[in-house]
Structure 1
Amino acid sequence: MSNSTEVDFRFLSEPDIIKAGATDMARCIDVMEDQFKLLSLGDYRMSGKNKNSHGAFMDFPESSPFPNMPVAGPDRRFMAMCSYLGGSYNMCGLKWYGSNVNNREKGLPRSILTLMLNDPDTGAPLALMSANLISSYRTAAVPAVGVRYLARKDVHTVGIIGPGVMNKTTLRSFLMERPDIETVKVKGRGHRSLESYVDYVHQNFPSIKNVVIVDTEEEAIRDSDLVSVATNENGGIETYPRVKREWVKPGAFICAPSDLYADREPFIEGEWKCVTDLYPMYEDWRDEIGRFDVCGTLGNEWVDMVDYGMLPRERVVDLGDIVRGVDPGRTSEDDIYFFSIGGINTEDVSWGTTIYRKAVEMGLGQELKLWDAPALA
């Protein structure tokens, strides 16, 4: 081990991480699968009292006497998500971002993200990197891991609810796992986003024969083998996408990285199977903000149902346990799976570490000096 007090770290821009493979979806899916194994083993740490917190959240008031203070708006917030991930990664990381829907009017993404990676022993920074693509690709790769283990093999039709960036990359990941997809049904609210999605599919996935814009969630869900619900709702439960029992095809796999209002009875009766990315994270959300009692993400809903005695805890399974073979997963072609995706910083750390190490190998980025020797030690 070096006794040098010099500390440098690497800055990686978005072009740098693209060169290092940040958009390699197939590789990202494999990395997500690997980090789910580590979650199942317990080789990770997150923040909060129970070490499973999603992150620290800061928003703004409806009004303020201070002229420079931002005020509340749709998805206007800052968030810090930190974790340690073991295994071959052995890395600490912090994803930090600000979000504002009105960014789009300025030609900017809704959220602007950076990722800091730190040595888990000394705490010294190793990399500061652009993280919009890191986050986008890991978010899309997670449902693909679910598809790998839980979707039927004969997948031909996908229902898309929310034709935004998240469901563009998610469709790409679905095709990595189930290349026989022929039909995509897409439900959205804005003409521009729907047209953009249709153009995206035609330009990028020539194997897809039919791209159909539908008017209702029911049309998107009925007869679909896979469904992805990824919307940005700010108007309360009445605006959430809805899933009703009679709409869902036997054998379907439905993933939801956003708020969703689904019938409760099929979960209670065991007809619909419950899978989470990390159940203890939803428990931490409950402990931090109180019982949910209204629909949010599916994982939040299931925690409430378990707490109220409506749903046995053992019927909610973490994907990592399925990946490791602790839980058998699909046992029948007609099993219907719902996958709740809350987003975990270990996903950013695993993919960010993979890209950072490749960038070092390729000599990408800029070396920045923290100090040659600390002024205070």
Structure 2
Amino acid sequence: MTDMPLRVLSRNDLADIAITPAEVIASVREVYVTLAQGQSRNPAKIALPLPERDSVSYSMLGYDGSRRIVAFKTSYKQERGRGDKQYYTTITLYDDDTGAPIALMDCARIGALRTPAASALLAEASAAPTAETALLIGTGTQGRQALPYLLAVLPGVNRLMLYGTHDAGIAAVLDVFHQHHPDRTIEVVSDPLGAAQEADIVLAASGPATAVKIRTNSLKPGAVLVDVGYGVADSALLDSDYAIATSASQLAVTGKYLADSDGSLRPVDAELPEILAGRAAGRRGPQDRVFAYNSGLVVTDIAVGHALATRAIEEGRGQELRPWR
């Protein structure tokens, strides 16, 4: 076994592997359910903030019980201001049946796909049955796939709004959306706070430099605010009538800005895996203003990464290394 090969898949190897929003959402939904059922494992990530500059590194370990895949993920992000960001993330997949390595992969595209899938599932779980208007705030990596994924689970949403501050980002969101929905339109708005008061679903996916701070209690009754990146007020969790998260333990690691004045976090009312497994509710009643926190779980990276790796390897992409020789 010491001569076991490892397939290395670069960002370019994965960039154009075909996969639809419906496929990604189905994979992410499945692994959330297996997590709730105890078949998968997702320990809380280890975070290491670095004191000399605005940077942080994460280490994550997980097991996808439906695919029988173990994975290790790492990420390192350094930001020195708008437009000056270094971000490196990788995931290594192992077959738990054979013990063999499957692939070492760049994780950027995986994250760009599983994150809007999780946001869509949070919205599906918590949106009022009458929801028909959605606002997307942010035009970066997370914003560009958000609306196609939302419509994949909530096709009845018939009014879509977009707020962004960069023309190139707005154009990119519109371009990606029209690739999926050439017959639909998005209304570009200039007043995000006013638009948020009209929306049934608000997806806050801005970058860290945003000046937008949406409060949950400023939304109309029955609305849901999904925290994907930045763009929510620090009081958004405390102000909500009902709160859900992909993971309460992950919220405790990455959501400290949502704490109250003494540094404590309000407990969430339900976690997404439990909701999808039918064991918890996405809201109590039709008037609840819901706050939904999206923190990436490595089991969802495994599900999406395995799908991309399988297709890439079938197409002969990447390089084989033998580090254990």
State TM-score, norm by structure 2: 0.83
Q: Is the 8 Å Cα contact of residues 156 and 180 (structure 1) preserved in structure 2?
A: yes
Task: Measure, in 2, the Cα distance between the counterparts of 1:198 and 1:5.
Answer: 49
The unaligned stretches of length 5 or more in structure 2 are none
Q: Is the 8 Å Cα contact of residues 161 and 220 (structure 1) preserved in structure 2?
A: no
Give 1:254's match in structure 2, choosing from 220, 225, 228.
225
Aligned to 2:64: 86
Aligned to 2:50: 59
Task: Measure, in 2, the Cα distance between the counterparts of 1:358 and 1:273.
Answer: 40
Please state whether the residue corresponding to 2:29 is helix, strand or coil: helix
Task: Measure, in 2, the Cα distance between the counterparts of 1:176 and 1:329.
Answer: 18
Following superposition, the deviation at residue 346 of structure 1 comes to: 1.8
- Aligned: 1:277 with 2:255: no
Q: CA RMSD in A?
A: 3.3
Aligned to 1:241: 213
Q: 1:11 to 1:338 in 2, by over 3 A?
A: same
- Aligned: 1:177 with 2:178: no
Q: Which has the larger radius of gyration?
A: 1
Following superposition, the deviation at residue 361 of structure 1 comes to: 4.2
Letter matched to residue 196 of structure 2: I
Task: Measure, in 1, the Cα distance between the counterparts of 2:98 and 2:180.
Answer: 44
Please state whether the residue corresponding to 1:242 is helix, strand or coil: coil
Please show how residues 148-163 of structure 1 align to structure 2 within 5 Å.
148-163=124-139
Q: 1:54 to 1:86 in 2, by over 3 A?
A: same
Q: Is the 8 Å Cα contact of residues 242 and 290 (structure 2) preserved in structure 1?
A: yes
Following superposition, the deviation at residue 83 of structure 1 comes to: 1.4
Aligned to 1:347: 300
Task: Measure, in 2, the Cα distance between the counterparts of 1:123 and 1:304.
Answer: 43
Following superposition, the deviation at residue 158 of structure 1 comes to: 1.3
Task: Measure, in 2, the Cα distance between the counterparts of 1:253 and 1:302.
Answer: 24
Following superposition, the deviation at residue 191 of structure 1 comes to: 4.8
State TM-score, norm by structure 1: 0.73
The unaligned stretches of length 5 or more in structure 1 are 47-51, 62-71, 287-291, 373-377
Task: Measure, in 1, the Cα distance between the counterparts of 2:292 and 2:169.
Answer: 25
Aligned residues: 323
Please show how residues 199-218 of structure 1 align to structure 2 within 5 Å.
201=177, 205-215=181-191, 217-218=192-193
Task: Measure, in 2, the Cα distance between the counterparts of 1:104 and 1:284.
Answer: 24
Q: 1:210 to 1:20 in 2, by over 3 A?
A: closer
Following superposition, the deviation at residue 45 of structure 1 comes to: 4.0
Q: Is the 8 Å Cα contact of residues 161 and 230 (structure 1) preserved in structure 2?
A: yes
Task: Measure, in 2, the Cα distance between the counterparts of 1:159 and 1:149.
Answer: 17
Please state whether the residue corresponding to 1:34 is helix, strand or coil: helix
Q: Is the 8 Å Cα contact of residues 226 and 254 (structure 1) preserved in structure 2?
A: yes
Aligned to 1:366: 319
User: For residues 219-255 of structure 1, what are the alpha-carbon distances to aligned partners after superposition, in whole Å with 9 as ceiling and x for unaligned?
Assistant: 23112121101122269xxx5623152x312322221
Letter matched to residue 39 of structure 1: L
Task: Measure, in 2, the Cα distance between the counterparts of 1:301 and 1:125.
Answer: 44
Following superposition, the deviation at residue 281 of structure 1 comes to: 2.6
Following superposition, the deviation at residue 318 of structure 1 comes to: 0.5
Give 2:198's match in structure 1, choosing from 217, 220, 223.
223
Letter matched to residue 215 of structure 2: V
Following superposition, the deviation at residue 169 of structure 1 comes to: 0.9
User: For residues 119-145 of structure 1, what are the alpha-carbon distances to aligned partners after superposition, in whole Å with 9 as ceiling and x for unaligned?
Assistant: 457875321112211111001110111
Q: Is the 8 Å Cα contact of residues 250 and 336 (structure 1) preserved in structure 2?
A: yes
Aligned to 2:10: 13
Following superposition, the deviation at residue 58 of structure 1 comes to: 4.7
